[in-house]
A and B are shown apart, each in its own frame.
Chain A
Amino acid sequence: MKIIIAGCGKIGSTILASLVAEGHEVVAIDTDPDVISEMNNIYDVMGAVGNCADSDVLKEAGIETTSLFVAVTGSDELNMLSCFLARRMGAHHTIARIRKPEYNDDSLDLLKKELHLSMAINPDLMTAKQLYNLLKFPSAVKIETFSDQAFELVEIKLKADSALDGMKLSEMRGKYQAKVLICVVQRGDEVFIPDGNFVLKSGDRVGISAAPAEITKFLRDLGVLQKKAKNVMILGGSRIAYYLATHLTGAGNTVKIIERDPEIAKDLAELLPKARVILGDGARQELLMEEGLPDSDAFVALTGMDEENVLMSIFASSQNVPTVISKINRPEMAALAERLNVDTVVSPRRYTAEALLRYARAVHNSMGSKVETLYQILDGSAEALEFTVTNDPKLVNIPLKDLKLKPNLLIAGILRDRRPIIPGGADMMLPDDRVVVVSAGQKLSDLSDILR
């Protein structure tokens, strides 16, 4: 499938990398010739230099034959304009990044409709939502929801004294009442789709899928459930901080935002009447102590600097703040942070890339059973996808144990009439069910891809 990506900044290049890895034909547009030649050298793409809202540049990039046009330049207005042009000039689907809060209110629907946008992505808002989920449920490293939250996939890390250390998965089911499924395990650099004989170890990162209530029950039985964060301190007054604070204060939590730029701090204070905005340098430990860091339930580091986020998170952990989350944009920094025991990391880049991959696969495969949801889990080494089951005789009405599935793949859940089922070998898929598939090391774009 031919895809054009306009704007090769942080987000643009991440998207580009994942789309090229999926085997799409990608054309990159950027105003800076050096950026384009860099992209050309690293990835197997074609480049066009110029303004992406210039019809000549779009024509050079081959807009007539393009299935998907993605505009992720730094300017919302340019993104919208170029998507509008691209659509008029023949692109089948257009996606624009629209970040500014003033466009992300009621006017967004109107904009989407009038500009014929297939999707508007807002990485900041997506990240804020993910953060909000994590703060509601602080035991997890990462939470993904399927089918409007009827089903969840929660990643947790097994601490050294975990009750699950050394436990065989088949024994686990007898010991705990909760109906959950451990569907994927990361140990070191390896990723396993475990069977009943798999033995868990401390230090593993495990993906657990189930209905939200069941997961809560399971974590409570394990003794690792933490209460919701009520009192949150946010470092850095970025857009993510704004969206997160809106969500949190809306749900009645107390929020403190520390921002060093007086202008931004003033704007935030005007926009967020319920939050407390503190003007000051968040890298100063004294300031954090004065503002009551040790009494906070959660500390979220959202400055533009990965390094500062990591360092201040380490400091917050040392002050026994129960939940510490930091935003890290560069993937190599995320790996380093993990080594420094900063467990929970959010990355706007990755959420954007996920959203786009999901859309690209759905477009690519619009005939069959579409990908409804796609999450990259365990740092992108595995994927969880949600499909709607079509009436495919090779799949439906066959007990799962009789299906010849590919290796490293698991059906983690079936949703029938919005009721989640943790499937056993005797269960089967029915038409109009939604299924969640977890797979490692392969890219699925259709439900039938799970068969050998």
Chain B
Amino acid sequence: MNRKMVFRTVGMIVLLEAALLLLPLVTSLIYGEAKSALAFLETIGIAVVFGGALCLFCKTEKTTIYAKEGFVVTALTWILLSLIGALPFVFSGDIPSYIDAVFETASGFSTTGATILDDPAVCSHGILFWRSFTHWLGGMGVLVLMVAILPAGNEGRPIHILRAEMPGPTMGKLVPKLKDTAKILYVLYLALTGIEVVFLLCGGMSLFEALTLSFGTAGTGGLALRADSIAFYSSYVQWTITVFMFLFGVNFNLYYLILIGKAKQIFKNEELWTYTGIVVAAALMIAVNVRDTFATFGEAIRAGFFQTVAFITTTGYSTAPFDSWPVFSKTILFTLMFIGGCAGSTGGGLKVARILLMFKTAKRDLTKMLHPRSVPVVRMDGRIVEEDTVRNLGSYLMIYFIFFLFFTFVLSFEKDFNLLENITAVSACLNNIGPGFGKVSSTCAGYSDVSKCFLSLAMLLGRLEIYPILFCFVPSTWSKK
């Protein structure tokens, strides 16, 4: 493996993080928060020295990145980003424990939205801004940002990095050049976020609140500014956030198709319609199921849609005490956790495309049993899905559930949590949702430090779809043989 190139790329990302930390620094300065401003300055200093050293000492002629290097770069990047991004929380004193801070940052970058803070309002504005900003960065991906803004070398083959970072069963380029693809994605992302900010401002929100909540929505993260998440805000704000959570859970390629005037193709996209269908059906079922707990049926509908969209896109905002809802509604929400958003969106989970493909493969195999001589093929959006993709899906699901069980076992040593709470906590982290049920429906503060470390890892595993981190910890990846 080309270690020098791996470390050099990681160094560049750390420098990029230092540059991005300037935004929360400015926020701190605007609000006159000297302590957090100093914390950001110190972190920037550390990141510049560390990243600069990596870049300086790891110079190499061989700049080619193969699949292996792509996975390792992605894994190391995300782990380091979380470790460094946690420093401001500690330096400012808002989250004194480093492990708690790492949990919070990993939750931010992986767009999970699980928190260890009982009431985020105690934090300074700069820190809250950074917390939400990590959602925005993690949503589309930091490496995608790097490809979009840094000058491209012809030889680097960054496609392997993007493939490792972008969620979904397959990665398709929008335009021939990777750099242009990354730029288009970020411009769309920025534009959509900007529109949400404007809508929220119209709802009478302050710019700070509008920005941070939009970051949380855009990355489908879910870290909010209040202990009761979004419940405090008006119904206009809640509907706006519902709509935008839904939009950010859609494959971004579709927005590009609209932009270049090929809107017709969207109607052929099976994933989008499945996603919409699931959302509408789940929301209506929940609304009917919980109508007694609300004053009017309209409110039940609003809560049903909000909570459905928040769970399926893996955002994890909440407007109602869903933990006290009937078991039927909770079961629906629990199922939605696994489905997740569309491939190529900022959402987590297994992705609708995978679920769809899974059903189609199952149908094909059943057909084969009834008609042993038939030659069935799996089609998606009218195209034949390649056998490799189908096979990869099978092994991904298996590895996914092995990890699910592994983390549940790790948590089983906790004294204060029951099995349901542990399972939902693992599901919330591995699927990047945030809240679980029971004690973990608002905060994960009760877990021990060891469990928090594993949950942080689960969040990153979930965001990167397991493989990069898995390969990073396999010794044969690093050996020279």
Which residues of A are at the interface with B, using a C-beta cutoff of 8 A?
Answer: 2, 20-21, 25-27, 33, 40-42, 44-46
Measured CB to CB, the closest approach of chain A to B150, in angstroms, equals: 14
Q: Is the CB of A44 within 8 A of B176?
A: yes
Is A44 a contact partner of B178 (Cβ separation < 8 A)?
A: yes
CB contact between B160 and one of A20, A33, A41 (< 8 Å): that residue? A41
In the assembled complex, B395 has its CB within 8 A of some CB on chain A: no
Which B residues are closer than 8 A to A by beta carbons?
Answer: 67, 152, 154, 157, 159-160, 173, 175-180, 386
B157 touches A27 (CB 8 A): no
For B159, give its contact among A21, A27, A33, A41 (CB under 8 Å).
A41
Q: How far is the CA of A41 from the CA of B386 in the complex (A)?
A: 18
Quick check: B159 and A40 within 8 Å, CB to CB? Answer: yes
Would you give the shortest CB distance from B172 to chain A, in whole angstroms?
8
Q: Are A25 and B175 in contact (CB under 8 A)?
A: yes
Q: Which residues of B contact A40 (CB under 8 A)?
A: 159
CB distance from B464 to the nearest CB of A (A): 20
A331 to B67, CA, bound (A): 25
CB–CB B173/A46 < 8 A: yes
Chain B residues within 8 Å of A21, by CB: 154
Do residues A41 and B157 form an inter-chain contact, with CB atoms below 8 A?
yes
What are 23 inter-chain pairs, A to B, with CB distance below 8 A?
A: A2-B176, A20-B154, A21-B154, A25-B175, A25-B176, A25-B177, A25-B180, A27-B176, A33-B386, A40-B159, A41-B157, A41-B159, A41-B160, A44-B154, A44-B157, A44-B159, A44-B176, A44-B177, A44-B178, A44-B179, A45-B176, A46-B173, A46-B176
The distance in angstroms between the C-alpha atoms of A81 and B67, with both chains bound, is 37
Would you give the shortest CB distance from B305 to chain A, in whole angstroms?
36
CA separation between A275 and B178, bound complex, in Å? 53
Residue in A closest to B178 when the chains form the complex, CB atoms: A44
Q: How far is the CB of A53 from chain B (nearest CB, A)?
A: 19
Chain A contacts for B157, CB-based, 8 A: 41-42, 44
- Beyond A25-B177, A33-B386, 10 additional contacts (C-beta under 8 Å) are A20-B154, A21-B154, A25-B175, A25-B176, A26-B176, A42-B157, A44-B152, A44-B154, A44-B157, A46-B173
Residues on B with C-beta less than 8 A from A45 are 176
- How distant is the Cα of A79 from the Cα of B9 in the complex, in angstroms? 42
The 8 closest A-B pairs by CB, nearest first: A25-B176, A46-B176, A46-B173, A44-B178, A26-B176, A45-B176, A27-B176, A25-B177
The minimal Cβ–Cβ distance linking B10 to chain A, given in whole angstroms, is 21
Contacts of A33 in B (CB 8 A): 386
B175 pairs with A46, CB closer than 8 A: yes
B180 CB, min distance to chain A CBs, angstroms: 8
The docked-state distance in angstroms from the alpha carbon of A2 to that of B154 is 17
Among B175, B177, B386, find the residue whose CB has the most chain A CB atoms closer than 10 A.
Answer: B177
B178 to A: closest C-beta gap in Å: 5
Task: Identify which of A26, A33, A40, A44 gathers the most chain B CB atoms within 10 Å of its CB.
Answer: A44
* Cα(A21)–Cα(B180), bound, Å: 15
Residue of A nearest to B386 (CB): A33
